[in-house]
Chain A
Amino acid sequence: MAAAESYPGELKYHPEHDWARIEGNEATVGITWFAQDSLGELVHFEAPEPGATVSKDASYGEVESVKAVSDVIAPLSGEILEVNQAVVDAPETVNEDPYGAGWLLRIRLTDPAEVEVLLDLDAYKQLVADA
């Protein structure tokens, strides 16, 4: 079952339709409701390896539906602590729960100051409204 449209207020957003939940010097990241809705039901997550590094604004993997494939952009720079194996095994988890069970990576931030330039809820909602 696809989730209803939502954008939680406690998250930070990247204009490429990614979200980050900041927890100290770590973050959990994923794609927003808007991103998964644009792609349709996901059938594949081409995931990076734990231990690899991700750079803010750069692609770290791909998400793919029947009709399209898209790069996933890192909202922040860091070292990958964990890849969500549940999504690798059942990519549709992202459609069902994009901010919960459908998270993609946990990272240790290498430049926590980057958080400051991410969008807050209102700015991201405006961006989606203009899309």
Chain B
Amino acid sequence: MVPFAGWELPVQYAGVIEEHRAVRRDCGVFDVSHMGELHVEGPAAHALLQALLSNDLNRIEDGEAQYTLLTNDEGGIVDDLIAYRLEQHHYLLVVNAGNRHAVYTWLKEREIRGSDVRDASDEYALLAVQGPRSIERLGLPDAKRFTHALGEIGGIEVMVNRTGYSGEKGCELMCPAEDAVALWDAVLSRGAVPCGLGARDTLRLEVCYPLHGNDITPATDAVSAGLAWTCALGSPDKDFTGAETLRRVQAEGPARRLVAFVMDERGVPRGGMAILGQDGSGRGEVTSGTHSPMLDKGIGLGYVPAENSMPGSELTIDVRGKERRATVVPKPIYKPQGEES
């Protein structure tokens, strides 16, 4: 168990690699109840969020969801989150545990007449059930990614969100906190393998989903991070905090970019390691790294100068004093085999 944002979370149950493979092959379950849930309601809820979040909320309807960013004036990332449209005047935001208070405060301070922001994180439990057989094992109907609906698992009413952090088919089940243990047991009884934070990290890294606090922070802008696709920079009827800066970065081209890389030599890259230039000087930094169970090689994400960011570019990673070669690869590093059509 490790402390994480005020919670005690398991790094692993049976073992990181075993859990990782279970999710890629079949079905695993992660208790992600530490994630924050904020309700934003009222006739002006849409206007408030449309002015603060990077993605265009007009693109989703009731029953749909959207990956989006909360940006600061410099286009830096306060948090990355998923906005679920429950009703026309009611959104649910699922935010990172470590940013729960920052996001709540940010929104609360900017509330406008007709909008109300409420932190309901302690009221809900959230279980991520992920893997090519997850939906079948839960007995749920197939549904598109980034949609949500009410459902029932083992007699417990849940909100079934077709989202996740593994790159696999799957869902995140939200229920009242008091039903959490019963829901966990019900999901396990359907054959899901319990998975910890360790596998959650290796799975998300293989598919290059950024981790806030490592790969993206308030000091890294969305364009350099490769998340311009979540920013409605071209919509005439949409403006949001930091959009001007992001348009400029996009027009000029970022000085550095967040790239995915695979080690060509033995060694496991880790966040904070230097990425070296030809002359051995620091050119960038690894922001996340691990050993990929699927590739059986070291993999990572890191910022490098734009001229070294194209797939095929050769990098040198300083692995505790030893120089090890790596190559920039297209994202994702690993493409899930059981991907939804």
A interface residues, Cβ below 8 angstroms from B = 2, 40-41, 43-44, 46, 62, 64-67, 69, 88
Contacts and interface: CB of A to CB of B under 8 A. Distances in A.
Contact of A41 (B15, B266, B267, B298): B15
Given A43-B291, A44-B291, A46-B322, A69 B268 contact: yes
Interface string B252-289: 00000000000000111010000000000000000000
B291 A66 contact: yes
B93 interface: no
Contacts of A46: 266-267, 322
Contacts of A67: 11-12, 16, 198
A41 B293 CA distance: 11
A69 B268 CA distance: 9
A66 B267 contact: no
A88 B291 CA distance: 15
A66 B266 contact: no
30 contacts: A2-B15, A40-B12, A40-B15, A40-B16, A40-B17, A41-B15, A41-B16, A41-B18, A43-B17, A43-B268, A43-B291, A44-B266, A44-B268, A44-B291, A46-B266, A46-B267, A46-B322, A64-B268, A65-B16, A65-B291, A66-B16, A66-B17, A66-B202, A66-B290, A66-B291, A67-B11, A67-B12, A67-B16, A69-B320, A88-B266
B267 A44 contact: yes
Given A65-B16, A69-B320, 20 more contacts: A41-B15, A41-B16, A41-B17, A43-B17, A43-B268, A43-B291, A44-B298, A46-B266, A46-B267, A62-B320, A64-B291, A66-B16, A66-B17, A66-B198, A66-B290, A66-B291, A67-B12, A67-B16, A67-B198, A69-B270
A65 B11 CA distance: 13
Contacts of B293: 66
Contacts of A41: 15-18
B186 to A, nearest CB: 29
Nearest to B197: A67
Contacts of B11: 67
Contacts of B268: 43-44, 64, 69
A41 B296 CA distance: 12
A31 B146 CA distance: 47
Contacts of A2: 15
Contacts of B291: 43-44, 64-66
Interface string B154-182: 00000000000000000000000000000
Nearest to B20: A66
A3 B11 CA distance: 21
A43, A44, A62, A69 interface centre (most CB from chain B within 10 Å):
A43
Contacts of A43: 17, 268, 291, 296
Nearest to B196: A67
Contacts of A40: 12, 15-17
A88 B296 CA distance: 13
Interface string B306-341: 000000000000001010000000000000000000
Nearest to A62: B320
Central interface residue in B15, B18, B290, B296, by most chain A CB within 10 Å: B15
B321 to A, nearest CB: 10
B204 to A, nearest CB: 13
Q: Of residues A41, A44, A66, which shows the largest number of chain B Cβ atoms within 10 Å of its Cβ?
A: A66
Nearest to A92: B17
A44 B297 CA distance: 9
